[in-house]
Structures are given as structure tokens and as C-alpha cells.
A = this chain, B = another copy of it.
Amino acid sequence: MKKTDRRVIKSQQAIKKAILELMTEKNFDDITIMDISERANVNRGTIYLHYMDKYDLLDKLIEEHINELRELCQSAAEMTFKEGNYVWFEYFEKNHMFFSIMLTTKSAAHFRSRFLDLVVEEYKVELDSSEGTNKGLNDDIVLQFLGAAIIGSVEWWFKNGMPYPPRVMAEQTGAILDRNF
């Protein structure tokens, strides 16, 4: 797997940055390909070289971050909830542009469910309802409950301008998760 040409990386970065900026300024439906190409300082045709249309662009952007989060889980498999959450929250902070838009704008409601699916999927392996706290409880319900909780917390964090550092968010939410698994 040879590494990709420097030019495509730069173009795609510029395009992704542009659409995120524009989404903070106007409704997704009102954003045109021309807007994006102008903001990204990239030829309009270049966008079509990489993406079908703006929906495809948004999809790919979402998919990328979902995958990145999944990989972070992989490398955090041995960690506690607090440590693992810290890795996530650092990633959230580093990409706050993306996440705050995705969690606050309604044109990207699609992202929420992808995000939730990922969280549930990752929590599932941690869950043991044969004994302990969750003995006798329904797996799906527990997972949906806790998944919604963590996503809600992240959303709240962004809506309020990230009032606490990632470290604190990770420890607090990690502590609550600890007593629920």
C-alpha cells in the first residue's frame, strides 16, 4: 500500500475544511459545490475527482471519523473506561469543528445514528449480563441506554463550549461507566 500523493491529501483536506466551515455559516442544503470549491481554493472539477456530490462528500467525511474512532478503540482495547474515554475526548477536541457541527446541525442527523451504532458496538464486548450489575437486564436496552448517555454527554460538552478539558470529561464519564458494567 503505497502512500497517497501529497496533492490529493491537500485537496481533500481543503475541501473537507471548506464544507465544515460553510456548514457553520448556512444550511447544508444551501451549500453549493461552487461555494465549496471557492472556499477550498480548489477547482470545481477537482471536487468531482474525489466525490460524487456534496452528499457523498459529507458521507465520506463521516465515515472517516467513524473509522478513526473505531481504530482508536482497537488500540485502546486494553484500557480502562477512563483511559479509553480520554483517547476519544482528545480526538473530539482535536476535531471539534467536525463533531460540534455534526451534533448540533440537523442536516447531519444521520451522523448521530452512525455514532450511536459505533458506541453500542464497542460497548457490547464489555457487557456481561450473566452476573454483576446488569444481571437479569436486557442487553440491548442497557447498551442503548448507556450509548445515548455518552453521546448526550459529548453533545452537551460541545453545546456549552467544551467547559471542561478532555481529561476531566474522560474521568467523569469513565467513572459512571465503570459502575454500569
Contact = CB atoms under 8 A, between A and B. Distances in A.
Nearest to A43: B6
A38 to B, nearest CB: 11
A19 B52 CA distance: 37
Contacts of A41: 6, 10
Contacts of A43: 6
A14 B42 CA distance: 15
The copy count of this chain in the complex is 2
A7 to B, nearest CB: 9
A6 B43 CA distance: 8
Nearest to A13: B41
A110 to B, nearest CB: 32
Interface string A35-63: 00000011100000000000000000000
Contacts of A10: 41
A42 B42 CA distance: 16
A6 B6 CA distance: 16
Nearest to A9: B41
A124 to B, nearest CB: 40
A159 B71 CA distance: 47
Interface in A73-124: none
A102 to B, nearest CB: 26
A49 to B, nearest CB: 14
Nearest to A42: B6
A123 B41 CA distance: 39
Interface of A: 6, 10, 41-43
Which 4 pairs show the lowest CB-CB distances between chains A and B? A10-B41, A6-B43, A6-B41, A6-B42
